[in-house]
Chain A
């Protein structure tokens, strides 16, 4: 549905996106992940026909975004990052206007509007001025305008940014449901969100795509190191850390400074540590032996799965080192 080939976009001399290529197939939900300023919004603006690419070809549903911009725009529902709303219109008036601008006729709007309002649960606010709504409800109005004209492709830029946690959960659910009938490109800098909603993740950093995979595979592939949580009794911290670092498979060892762990350790009189070891070796076994041989008490030894956040950091910092 969306096909990007060697696309670059610069603002004056500043490159925002550099030579990216990817394809989103019909019915796919693709998460677009990256820190602020990585080029997510720029890419989405190119896809939606808001701004043309500096180089490369971008097509949506087979239409080129530059030469057939109007056709592209007819097939896209777009929710920009700052939800664009006319604050002095009521929800119904706003959505009716947006529908008409998207080329819907009056009877189509009339038939479709109640369904959409129902879907996003805006029923009791249908005659409220948009300016009076809370941020979460404004977001729903924003989503409504994007799906009102039943577009084939949905592009959502940071759809859960700046709304409270309960509404975030509801909004995510709503978006997941939308994914069942739309091709979707969704950007976020929050990783659990992307792994919850999307079946495929594109990681973008500094205008380049650095990874393209399923969320689960992504964490498996990138597990360069195994992280182990260890608690011991009767050891001095420096002595323990040195002993750990002497083990050949251990990459690094340090005191665990997480507040929750520290509190518990004070009460139960043990020292918490974090040890990073190379994967695919029986590092844990060697670590346990070393602790016992030194006469320390082993209270806890748990391998931690790497979170997407850490993978993300790793990916993006590696990219920086590479340059």
Chain B
């Protein structure tokens, strides 16, 4: 446990010592800000963070791999992975420490965007339920996307490969309903069950949508369902496990 926190603290410090955290935070705030403003600026608009959530989860498809791409690729490039793997550390401690660092950094970013909620309370009368479930969902969604990004970062010493593979996996899970809509039966049902949650309808100014069949829909609506929580936690666990396996496989090559 101590090693996990040593690694996490080091990575968090590296995030905030480099431009990365600030650039990504700025982009995150700007983009989610746009979606938030657009969703509440109509006359008689609903006082909710639905637009913000839709923008945030869509943007995280790219932002999460961008945050995690450095974490393991750079260790391989600098050769420091050899030091980590010859230290009395277990692979899961390395992976978990780095994952926690990325999650904390993302949560700081989300925290910065919470003034949207304050704005809602000042100018309107928002429903607290969907606000809270939305933020819970966002945390779970962030951890799933970061785990995918971390896995992609472990694959090679090239950060760009990590970014492209990570975003690729997340985009595939996002547009999986395009494919399932053209299928029927069990195949379609299985594919639908993997819908990550974001939707390209986020660019449709009338709906600011999250994917209706996706795992984020209920969170945005104010409902917490076990299926959705289990889905995001499973994605997180599976990809963290895969990352550990990739690092272990490196030894046996």
Contacts and interface: CB of A to CB of B under 8 A. Distances in A.
A80 B79 contact: yes
B127 interface: no
Contacts of B14: 86, 88-89
Q: Which bucket holds chain B's interface residue count?
A: 20 to 34
19 contacts: A11-B253, A12-B253, A45-B82, A49-B86, A50-B82, A50-B86, A70-B88, A73-B86, A73-B87, A84-B80, A84-B83, A85-B80, A97-B6, A98-B87, A100-B3, A101-B3, A101-B87, A102-B88, A145-B83
Chain A's interface size range is 20 to 34
A100 B84 CA distance: 11
Interface string A1-41: 00000000001100000000000000000000000000000
A245 interface: no
A101 B251 contact: no
Given A51-B251, A100-B6, A74 B88 contact: yes
Contacts of A11: 253
A136 interface: no
A80 B82 contact: yes
B85 interface: yes
A103 B78 contact: no
Nearest to B18: A88
A52 interface: yes
Contacts, number: 66
A12 B81 CA distance: 21
A76 interface: yes
A49 to B, nearest CB: 6
B90 interface: yes
Given A11-B253, A83-B79, A101-B3, 14 more contacts: A50-B85, A51-B251, A51-B252, A51-B253, A52-B251, A73-B88, A80-B79, A82-B79, A84-B82, A87-B78, A89-B14, A101-B83, A101-B84, A101-B87
Interface string A246-264: 0000000000000000000
B43 interface: no
B89 interface: yes
Interface string B1-40: 0010011001000100110000000000000000000000
B83 A78 contact: yes
Interface of A: 11-12, 45, 48-52, 70-71, 73-74, 76, 78, 80, 82-89, 97-98, 100-103, 145
Interface of B: 3, 6-7, 10, 14, 17-18, 78-90, 251-253
Nearest to B7: A101
A101 B89 contact: yes
A3 B19 CA distance: 47
A58 to B, nearest CB: 14
Nearest to B80: A84
Contacts of B3: 100-101, 103
A285 B57 CA distance: 91
A292 B50 CA distance: 106
Which 4 pairs across A and B sit closest by C-beta, in order of nearness? A84-B79, A84-B80, A48-B86, A82-B79
Given A73-B88, A80-B82, A50 B6 contact: no
Given A50-B251, A52-B251, A97-B6, A84 B89 contact: no
